[in-house]
Every structure is written in structure tokens, then in C-alpha cells.
Structure 1
Amino acid sequence: MSAQNPRRWLITGANSGFGAAITAAVLATGDEVVAAVRRPETMAEVIATHPDQVQVVTLDVRDGEAAERAIKEAGRIDVLVNNAGYGIIGAIEETSEADLRDAMEVMFFGPLRLTQLVLPQLRERRSGTIVQLTSMGGFMSFAGVGAYSAAKGALELASEALAAEVNTLGIQVLIVEPGEFRTGFARPAALTFGSSIPDYAGTVGAIRDGLPASDQQQTGDPAKAAAAVLATVGQPDAPLRLALGPDAVGAIRAKLATVAAELDATAALGLNTAFDEA
């Protein structure tokens, strides 16, 4: 859109991490941001700097009624960025059902609810973009992040189906899969840890200790990640997935190679499953 008719982006978790980086990048283009955050006071500095470009709505993505209110208050939305999320560490056996359910509420049900609420106006205009911030851990997984990957992976697969459903309606779906970036994601206070069972020290211990230790040591620049997202949103024939960071690109390529090798190794068994001809 032109400067006279800027796009309006609704960004969840706009006050920190990738949300803050995308918010800054969007505002720099002259577009408008509806910042959906749990604590509106955290957006005070951004509002003071961009008073005519920023609207703040209070939203905990777990709250369905709050989501409906936020969408109504926001009005027109051209780009929805489902960014809110957090890290959860622990073996599957170490993860409580309450923590697993909360991860799904924040990183699967919440984003899909907002997606459903925004889609009617996008369909009416036959335009718009839905950006789902997942993770390289939404495409592949490893010991200690099963709950996190389950939530992000569920969002990825739902979004893959969504893209097939809306691509003929002029609506873009973009799945963003970051690796390690200096966002504050790994701050110990921001992480949820499951109980510690000694038998898993050899498999889960590395991520339990290593992820908090990596905070503010990551090589990924959130501003460059945000620029990559903006460069992809609204582009014709844009890809469905955008992997960000050498670690994400490498891990996803390795996963694809592993799946291909396993498929080749078991293809004879898999193909030989039809009824025998009479």
C-alpha cells in the first residue's frame, strides 16, 4: 500500500523479541501497528515515538473473549502476526499436563483463534497476510523440547492447510521458522522447565543447561530477521515457509535428508501393502 494508505499490522507480543523487532521494522516503513500485548504500559516509549502509527490493545492470547475484543478494537487488519510464545524445556515424561496444555493454548489455540477472527475481513477484501511465527522446532524436534515443538508443529500443519484453503482468495500465509536469535527467548525467567528426572540428564541436560546459558550470546540479529519477514510479506508467489538463521536452514535440511533416507529404506515395505489380486 502507499504512504497515503498504509497497511495495518496486528502483532501479538509486540513489546519484546521478534514482536518488537517486527514492530520497529513495520513502523519504519510508515505502516501502522496494532500492538496486542498483555501489559499495555510496556508500549509507552513506542507510542511516544510513533503516536500516529501505533494502537495498543490488551490481549492474553489464552483469553478468547479478549481476542474478540482486540480484533474489534483494531478495526481494519491487513497483516496478522501471531508472534506470542515462550520456551518450555523438559523431557516428555518431565512435562506436566498443565504445562503441555498451556503451551498449546499460547502457541496453537491462541494463534488459530486470532486467525479465525481476522479471516472474514481478509476474505471480504480478497487480500491480506497471516504470519505465523513458529520455529525451526516447529519443523523438527529434539530431546527436551517436545512440548514446545508439538505446539509449534501443530500451528505449522494447520497453517499449511490454511494456505491451501485461502491462496485462491488473495490471502497469503507465511510460516516463519527462526533458529537462535538474540531476542530474550532464552532468559531463564522467560522459560518454563519441567521436573528433572536423573535418567534424562544425558539427553535433556544439554538443552536444560545450555539454552539459558545462550541468552544474549546468539548470533542471530532480530532486526535482520524482521527485515526478511517484511521482504516476504505481500510478495507475489512468496514461499509458504521462511527459515531464518544458518542453524535453522541447516537443521531443516538435515531433517529433510533424514526423512528422505528413512523413506527410501522402508519404501519396499510401504509399497507392498495392497490387497493381492484375486
Structure 2
Amino acid sequence: FDPLSTAHTMSSPPIWFITGCSSGFGTSLALLALRSGHKVIATSRNPSKTPVLVSEVQSLGGVWHTLDVCAPEPELAKAVEKATNVWGRIDILVNAAGYALLGAFETFSDAEARAQMATNFFGPLTLTRLILPSMRVRHSGTVVQISSATGLEAKPSRSLYSASKFALEAFSEALYHEVKPLGIRVLLVEPGWFGTNFSRALARPEAALPREYEGTVVKQVLDATVALGGVGASAPNDVEKGCRAVFDAVMGRGLGEGLEETIRLPLGKDCVARIRVKIEEHRHMLDVTEKLWSSTDAD
């Protein structure tokens, strides 16, 4: 992998294509890139709901397109073509659209499960597949997947959300190794709890929680989530600082200098704490199962 082939070394400003720009990391990354002199095609499902934000992006020289990441592939292909035609290419794809479905697993319907996977996994998968050929031809480009700490450590009440992020992690990790020789970078961003309005994008299943779950960790997590609401001030991490970290890692500057070959970017001390717990769990699992896993050698 040659970091000199990535978009940030081009003489012309890098061109970003970002989904989920109506809130959270999508919003902040779009504005940061524009204020840094870059070009941005921002997207969201319903731009009419954020007219002030759309106007701000446009006033900074960006453009805003309507994009539903759950749309059929032919529609997404047209959206990618339209975005590419704005400035002739896409250097950096950021898949930031997403939401979390919370509840006891048995209360989720099949339709709810498929909708969760469509937004958080199949949407990014399709957009990445559609944009890769142009990056491959240029031997240049970066794909940024906004994952989650929950994509590393699954939590009760987040079974489907975790599944969607675990899928995104696995797909992106494999893709990283596939396209690295082609001069294309894949970066998984794993935020902990940030002060965004992502909590407004939390969804509950239509089915009621069975009474047997009263007093369990599932009910405790759901109650705590409702109590927190959309108050970002309670979060231990700042979204603007998080987006600066992502921006620097993508551009290979500031604190992100020298990280061109890094596949994962955990964000927040809370995320790192969860990763360390997961590492210890795996170490313990290997220790206690050693007699079993070491007994399978062929004679």
C-alpha cells in the first residue's frame, strides 16, 4: 500500500461523498472537510428536514443530494453517478448513515431485523461496491466506514445493532486486504459514546417487552437509554474532536500522521476500555479451553 497514492496528496482538493449528513458524524465531517478547503457531496434521506444545515453546506461550496441508503441498487448506482459527475470523481467515501434498534431480541420482527441490516450493512456494502471500480482505475481512494464500539463488543438489548456493525467490521476488514494492493484504503471508525443526536436515531420494536424481562439487564439498558434521551452533554466524548481525529487519520496529518496503514480507529477512552475487556475475555477463553482446542490435531 502506497500512502502517496491516496486522495490527500492530490494537487486538487479531495472530494468527499458522505452519507447520513443530517446529524452526528456525517454532519460534522462534511462541515470540517468544507472548512478545510475540500469538496463535499453531502447526502441524507430527507434534506427538507434540515434546511439550515443544507444551506450551510451549500454556502461553504458543497452540494447536497437526496440519498436513501436502503434504496435498490439501481437507484444507488444513479446516485453514485450523479455524485461523481459533480466534480469528476469521488476520492473519499464515508458511510455514516445508521441507526440503532434496541430491545430484547425475541421482540424484533423479521422486517425490523432486515431494515436494521439494510441501513447499517447492506447500504454501505452496496455504495462501497459501486464506488470501488473508479478508485481501482485511479489506484487511489479511501473508504471510511463509521462503525461502533458495539461492532467490537455486543451488548444486551443491542443484538441486531451489534450484528449489523459486526457484519460491517468483517466485510471491511476483508476488503481492506483485498484493495490495499490497489492503492485503496479502508478505515473502520469505532466511536464510543459521543455527544451527537444519534440517540434520536434509536428505535424500539413494535412488540412490547415481555414481563419476564423486568429487572434484567435488557430492561435496565432500555430504561437508561430512555432516561438519557438526546442529551449529548452527558456523553464523555466530543463529536467535533472525534471528527477531527477521523479527518486527520484520513488525511495523514496531525495526530493521524503515520496511520495510513491502520485499519481501525477506535474513538474515545470508553471504546478503548471495551476493547481491552474484549481482549481479556478472549485470553481467558483461550486459557480455559486449551485442553479442548489443543486436542484436535490430526494423528
What is the TM-score when the length of structure 2 is the normalising length? 0.87
Q: Distance in 2 between matches of 1:116 and 1:174?
A: 15
| Structure 1 range deviating more: 101-110 or 204-213 | 204-213
Tell whether the 8 Å contact from 1:182 to 1:219 is kept in structure 2 after alignment: yes
Corresponding residue for residue 70 of structure 1: 79
Shift of 1:183: 0.9
Corresponding residue for residue 235 of structure 2: 218
Equivalent of 2:292 in 264, 269, 278: 269
Q: Distance in 1 between matches of 2:45 and 2:266?
A: 28
Q: Distance in 1 between matches of 2:99 and 2:36?
A: 28
Tell whether the 8 Å contact from 2:23 to 2:198 is kept in structure 1 after alignment: no
Corresponding residue for residue 87 of structure 1: 100
Corresponding position: 1:36 with 2:49: no
Corresponding residue for residue 62 of structure 2: 54
Tell whether the 8 Å contact from 1:32 to 1:54 is kept in structure 2 after alignment: yes
Shift of 1:207: 1.5
Tell whether the 8 Å contact from 2:43 to 2:66 is kept in structure 1 after alignment: yes
Query: Where in structure 2 are there 5+ consecutive unaligned residues?
Result: 1-7, 253-257
Q: Distance in 2 between matches of 1:25 and 1:238?
A: 23
Q: Distance in 1 between matches of 2:11 and 2:52?
A: 25
Corresponding residue for residue 141 of structure 2: 128
Corresponding residue for residue 17 of structure 1: 24
Q: Say how many residue pairs are matched.
A: 274
Q: Distance in 1 between matches of 2:38 and 2:32?
A: 9
Equivalent of 2:246 in 229, 244, 252: 229
Corresponding residue for residue 117 of structure 1: 130
Shift of 1:47: 4.8
Corresponding residue for residue 142 of structure 1: 155
Query: Where in structure 1 are there 5+ consecutive unaligned residues?
Result: none
Shift of 1:42: 4.4
SS of the residue 1:175 aligns to? strand
